Amino acid sequence: MRQDRQTVAQLLVIQAPRLGLQVVAEQAPGCYLVDWRGRRLRMLMLTRSHDYWLKRLALRQGQWDQLCVVRHDSCVPLPVLDLERGYLYAPYEPPPWYRLGEQLTRRTAPVFLGQLLCGVQAAWERLGRLPRGSRARYQRRLQALVQRVPGRPVGGSASSVLS
C-alpha cells in the first residue's frame, strides 16, 4: 500500500480514540491541530520521520509541535508519534532498533544522518572515525540536506476544518 501524508492523517483519525486525542482542525494539507493530554498541538503528518530532513522542514523551525509518522526511522528535534508502534518518542530519541556503534547500512543511515543534523556529539565523533570515502559521502549528504530546494514548501497556511 502506498503511504502518503493523507493516509497518515486518516490513520491518525482512526486511532485517535485509542490514543486519547482529538483532531480539531486541519490547518494546512498534512498539518493538524490536535488536543492531546490537555494541550493543543500543531501536528505534522509524514510517512516516516526521515522525511523531516528530506523535505527540509528543519529550515522552517517553530511551525510544528510534534510529528505524526507511520514509521519512526530517524532522529529529529521534535516529539514523534509512531502510529505503527503506537509509541511517542521524545525529541532526539532514535528508534529502539538503532545502536550508534553498529555498522552503517541503508536502514541505519537515516538515523545516523538525523543525529548528525541534530548535533549529537557521539554521532560527530563516529563520523570522524569513518574511512575517508564514507566520511566524505556522509558530509555531502549532510550538505545537501541543509540546502533549500526549489518548489512549494510542505505545510503551508490553508485553513480547512475537519468535519
In angstroms, the Cα distances linking 145 to 29, 82, 89, 104, 110 are: 23, 23, 23, 18, 11
Boundaries of domain holding 121: 5-145
Residue 75 lies in a domain: yes
In a structure prediction context, what are the per-residue pLDDT tens digits for the chain, which is 163 residues long?
456 878 888 888 888 888 888 888 888 888 889 998 888 999 999 999 999 999 888 877 778 899 999 999 999 999 999 988 888 999 999 999 998 878 888 899 999 999 999 999 999 999 999 999 999 999 999 999 888 777 666 665 433 333 3
In a domain, 160, yes or no: no
How crowded is residue 16: how many other Cβ atoms within 10 Å of its Cβ?
15
Domains of the chain: total: 1
Inside any domain, residue 159: no
Q: Residue 108: inside a domain, yes or no?
A: yes
CA distance 130 to 50: 22
The answer as to whether 103 is a domain residue is: yes
For the whole model, what pTM was predicted? 0.82
Asked, for residue 158, whether it belongs to a domain, the answer is no
